[in-house]
Structure 1
C-alpha cells in the first residue's frame, strides 16, 4: 500500500445544503408554538382563559383525582362566605325575635347549629387544603421536571452544541420551579372567585349597578400588573444566555472541580467582577421595567379608587333617597369591603397565574420539541442494525457544527476492517473527535454516508448500532457512583455481573488500586457524598477504559486513552493493545505518534480534511504532514522538553 495525500481533492459545497441535517426542530418549535403561547409583548389578560386552560391541564395531567378534590375543597371553603353572612343574619334575627317573645336561648338552637356547621366545614376544608396542596405542588413540579427530561434524553448530541437549545433548556428548567406557585395561585383564584360569587347576590339586591361597578375596580390594577409581568418575562428571555453565563461563573467559584485552579491563579476577583458586570446589566434592565410599571400602578390605583368611591356614593344615595334602610346599607357596606378584599386576592392570583403561565409557556416551547425528536428517533427504531462487521466505510462524509464557519469534517473517506488497529492523527481542531462521534453514530453526516458492510448506519436503529460501539472520549464521564457501577454502566444490562466487572477491571489495569480502596469495587467515588473517595486523573481514565472493555463491542474507539495515565500504565496499554482487543477493530486517536507506529494504517486529518493515509513507514517516506509532526515530537522528546502525552 502506498502513502497518499488527499489535500485539495473534491471539496464539498458550503451553502445551505451543507446544513440540511442540522436540528431544524429548534427553529420549527418557535413557529409551531407561536400562536399557542402567550405573547410576551402583547395579548395580556385577554389570553387568561387560555392560561387557565393550560394550568388546569397541567394539574390534571400530574394528579387528576387530587386536583378535583382540592378544587372542590377550595370552592367549599371560599364559596360559603355569602352563606355565612346569611346564617349569621338568621341567628341575629332569631335572637331578636326570641327576645321579643321572652323565649329562652334554646329557641335559636337550630340557627346556631347551622352556623356552627358552616364554620366547621370551612375550617376542615381549609386544613385539608393546606395538607393536600403540598402533595399537589410536589406532583406538578415532578411532572414538569420529568417532561423537561423527556426532551433532554431524546435530544441528539448535536442539539447540545447549540446555544439556542441550552437557552430553551434553561428556561424550561426555571419553569419547573413554578408549579408550586401555580397551584397556590390557582387555589387563590378559585377561592376568591367563589367568595365573589357568594357575595354578588347581596350587592345585586342593593342595586343592580353595584356589582358591575365593583367588578370594574379590579380591571385597572389587573392590566397594570399583567403588563409588568410581561415586562419581567421579556427581560428574562432577553438575558437567557447572560443568566447562563452567570450560572457558569458561580459554578466556577463554588465547585470543587475548579476550586484548586481558581485559587492557584487568583481568579476569584476576576470571575466575581465578570459575574457582577453581567448582574449589573440585568439590574439596569430590571430598574427600567420597574420605573415603567410604577407609573402604570399609580394610574391603575387612581382609577380603581375613583370607581370604589363611586360605589360608596351610590350606596349613600340609596340611603338618602330612602330606597335602602340604614341597617341594610351597613351590611351592604361590609359586603362591599369583603368583596373588595376578595377582588384584591383575585387580581393578585390572576396576575401571578398569568405570570407563571408565561414561564410555563417557556416549558411548552421546549416540550414541543419532543414529538419531532421522538419521530426522528422512531424513524429507524426497530430497524435491525448490524451487530458486527467485516468492513466499515466512510464515504465522502461532511459535518458542520451549528453556526460554525466551516466544516469540522470535510469530505472524508476511509476504511476500517475487522481486527485492524487504525490510528487517526492530526493537530488540535483537525476533526478527529468529530469523526469519532460520526463513527459511533452520535452525529449524522450532512453529506456522504458511513456503512457497515454496505448498510448505511443512518438507516438503522441508532441505539442498536451504538450497542456495538465502545468509546472512550477525552471528556469521559466521572460518575459519582461505586467503582463497580462506573465500570458496569458500560453495559447497563449486565450491571450486576460482578465477575465481568472484575475481569474488565483487570484488563484495564484498575484491579490493583481498586482492591486497596476502603470497600474495593463497592467503594463510593466522589467526596461530595458520605464515605466517598476520590481518584487521580489517571485512575479515573483507567476506570473509563474498563467501561470500554466491559462493553465488549466489535468497534472500539479510543480518543487519547492515556492522556492522564502515568508512563508505565500508558506503555502497558499500548504494548498490549492488540492482545487486549483481539478480534475487534480499534480506532486509536492520539497525539502520541510513537504509539501509532505499529498501527495497520494511519489516517492524518488536517483542518477537517483527510490529508494522508498509509503505514508509519509509508508516511515517513512520503515526508508530509505526519512525518513533520513525528520529527517535531521525536526531537522535543529527545531533548526532554516534553512528556509522553504532550501534543505536537
Structure 2
C-alpha cells in the first residue's frame, strides 16, 4: 500500500511536470511523444523480420524456397534499423532543445517568484533552507525529471507493445515478468525517498559548508582570514563537515545498491526460467527456431524496457520529491502589491504611528511596544537610542518591509495598508546602513533609486555632488560608465565609504515627499559626514524626513527627536528641549560630547 501511495504521488506530481513541459512548447512535446511511440514499435518489427529470415533459412534446408524473400525481410530489417536511428537522433535533439527550454522556464519562475516574496521571509533561516534547496536543485533536477519522464514514457510504450505480443504467446510469462520486477521498483522508490530525506535534513549543514567555501574564496573576506590566520581553522571546519556529510551519503548509497543488486537477481532468475521454457517449447517443435529468436529478442528488449521503466519511475519519484519542494516554493504567498482601496495622496501632511507593536516572525518578544508619534509636513525626525532599541524596525515598518503585529501606521489619517504597495513605496527615498552593492555602472547604481523615471545625466551629477562623490567618480576609468566591484573583469573597486555615498546619491535621486536614512553616513569621516548631512538638510526642505544617527552633531539638525529604549519611546522633543531635561537623551549626548573633549 505504501508503494502504491508513492506511485500515486509520482503520477500526481508528474502531471504537474507534464503541464509545465506542455506550457513550454506544445509543438515540441507532441513531436517527441509521436517519436517515442514510433520508437516503441520498431523493436517488434525488427525482431519479427529476423524471425522470418531465420525461419526461411531453416525451411530452405528441408525444401526449396525462393531465396528472394530473405532479401525482402533483410531489406525491411535494414530499413527499420535506419529508421530507428533517424528517429532516435531526432528524438534526442528535440529532447535536448525542449529540456533546455523547460529548464529555462523553471529557473525564470524561481527568479520571478523570489522577487515577489515579502521581505520578512529573507530574514527567516527556514526560508533560506527552502530557497537554497530550490536554487541548488533548480539547475538540474527539473531537467533530470524531464529526461526520466520521457525515458519512462519511451520504455512504457515499448513494454506495452511487447506485452501485447507476449500475451498471444503466454499470458503467464507476461504476468510473471511484471511480478518479478516489483521488488526492484520498491527498492528504487524506498531509497529514492531516503536520499531526498537525507539531503533535506542536511540542508542547514550544506549551507554552512557553502559558507565556509565562500569565506575562503570571498574577495572581501580574504584579508581578514590572512591577517587573523584563520586558514587552518576554516579548512578543518570545512573538511570535518564535508567528511561527515560524505559518510552519511556513502552509507545510504552502499545500502541502496546492495538491495538493488538483490532485485536484479530476481529479474535474472525470471530470465533463466523464460529461456528454459522457450528452449523446451522449441525442442518439442511447438516453436520454430525463428520463434525462439523472436521471443527471446523481445523478452530481452522487454526486460531492458521494464528495468528502464523502473529506473525512470524511481528517478521521476526521487526528483519529484524535489519538484514538490519547487512547487511548494512557487506556491508561497506573495507580497500583496495591489490592494488599491485608496488613492495615494499628492501632498503628505502627516505620518502617524498609532499604538504600534511588533515582533519578528518566529519570535515571541515584541521589539516595539506601543509606539505612537506623529510627523508633520516639513518635519525632520531623528531616532536616537542604543543598538536594539527598535530604531531600524520603525524604518522597516514605515517602508512596509514588515507590517505591524498590532496598531496601525497612517498617512494623512489613512492606514497605509489601504494603499497599493508599489505606489506607496514610490513615496519614499531610502538609504540603509546595510545598503546593497550593485555591480553595475555608477550611472545605473544611482538611477536604481528611481528606475521607472527617465533621469538626465545632469540630474545624476547633481545628486552625486550632494553626496560628495562626483569628484571621485571623475577619477574612475570610465567616469559614470565605470562598472563597480570586482565581480567582472572590467570592474573597479571602491571603498566602503564611497559605496555609501553612491547609496546616498541613489536615495536622493528619487523625487518623493518622504526620505528615510538609516545610519547613512556610518562609513564616512567626520568632515564628509557633516557635508553630506548639510546637503541632505537642504534637499529635504519642504519634505518629511526620518533618519537614524548615533552622532549627535547630526541629530541636532532634526526638528523632532524620538528617544527609544527597549522598544518604547521614552522621550520626545527638539535637541534644545531634551538637552535641558535630565533624561536618557541628555545622558547619551553628554557622554558623546565628553568623549570628544577627552
Choose the corresponding residue for 2:221, options 258, 274, 280.
258
- TM-score w.r.t. the length of structure 2 is 0.93
Structure 1: distance between partners of 2:16 and 2:284 = 49
Aligned to 1:16: none
**How does 1:367-516 map onto structure 2 within 5 Å?**
367-369=330-332, 372-373=333-334, 376-378=336-338, 380-381=339-340, 383-494=342-453, 497-516=456-475
Partner of 1:75: 37
TM-score (norm 1): 0.86
1:102-251 alignment runs, 5 A limit: 110-176=72-138, 177-251=140-214
Q: Name the CA distance, whole Å, in 1 between partners of 2:158 and 2:347.
A: 70
1:594/1:506 CA distance change after superposition, 3 Å: closer
Structure 1 residue 201: Cα displacement: 4.1
Match of 1:9 in 2: none
What's the offset of the Cα at 1:285? 3.4
Who is 1:328 aligned against? 291
Asked if structure 2 preserves the Cα contact closer than 8 Å seen for 1:189 and 1:345, the reply is: yes
What secondary structure sits across from 1:576 in the alignment? helix
Q: How many Å separate the matches in 2 of 1:304 and 1:86? A: 24
Q: 1:387, 1:465 within 8 Å by CA — same for their partners in 2? A: no
**Contact 1:202–1:332 (CA<8 Å) still a contact in 2?**
no
Distance 1:447 1:489 in 2: 33
Instruction: Write the deviation string for residues 95-154 of structure 1: whole angstroms up to 9, x where unpaired.
Output: 77899768675x666545433432232122111122222221211112222222233222
Is 1:304 paired with 2:264? no
- Say which of 519, 528, 541 aligns to 1:582: 541
> Structure 1 residues 383, 268: CA separation in 2 closer, same or farther (over 3 Å shift)?
farther
Unaligned runs of 5+ in 2: none
Aligned partners of 1:300 and 1:629: how far apart in 2?
A: 75
3-state DSSP of counterpart to 2:515: strand
Q: Give, in whole Å, the separation in 1 of the partners of 2:518 and 2:11.
A: 55
d(CA) in 1 for partners of 2:344, 2:232: 53
Matched residue of 1:355: which SS? helix
Between stretches 196-205 and 248-257, larger displacement belongs to 196-205
Deviations 1:160-208 (A, max 9, x none): 1222222222222233121221222222212222322333244334322
Q: Is the 8 A contact 2:385 2:563 kept in 1?
A: yes
Distance change (3 Å), C-alpha of 1:240 and 1:540: same
Report the Cα offset of residue 401 of structure 1.
0.7
Of the structure 1 ranges 342-351 and 315-324, higher mean CA displacement relative to structure 2 is found in 315-324
The answer to whether the Cα contact below 8 Å between 1:79 and 1:197 also exists between their aligned partners in 2 is no
Provide the alpha-carbon RMSD of the alignment.
2.5
State the shift of 1:594 in Å: 2.0
In structure 1, what is the equivalent of residue 239 of structure 2? 276
Q: What residue in structure 2 maps to residue 363 of structure 1? A: 326
Structure with greater contact order relative to length (CA < 8 Å, sep ≥ 6)? 1
Residues 129, 96 of structure 1: CA spacing in aligned structure 2 closer, same or farther, 3 A cutoff? same
Task: Tell me whether 88-97 or 467-476 shows the greater mean CA deviation.
Answer: 88-97
Shift of 1:525: 1.3
How many angstroms apart in 2 are the aligned matches of 1:381 and 1:103?
86
Q: Cα distance, 1:591 vs. partner?
A: 0.7
The offset of 1:281, in angstroms, is 3.8
Q: 2:18 aligns with which of 56, 66, 72?
A: 56
Quickly say closer, same or farther: Cα 1:304–1:122, change in 2 above 3 A: closer
Contact 2:340–2:420 (CA under 8 A) maintained in structure 1: yes
Deviations 1:381-400 (A, max 9, x none): 47422343111111111111
TM-superposition CA deviations, 1:249-279 (whole Å, max 9, x none): 2212222122222222122322333333433
Which range is displaced more, 411-420 or 146-155? 146-155
Tell me, yes or no, if the aligned pair for 1:216 and 1:307 is still in contact at 8 Å.
no
The answer to whether the 8 A contact 1:418-1:585 is kept is yes
1:517 to 465, 476, 479: 476
Q: d(CA) in 2 for partners of 1:97 and 1:293? A: 50
SS at match of 2:435: coil
- Structure 1 gaps, min length 5: 1-37, 640-648
Return closer, same or farther for 1:114/1:326 CA change in 2, 3 Å cut-off: closer
1:419 to partner: Cα distance: 1.3
Distance in 1, matches of 2:145 and 2:490, equals: 39
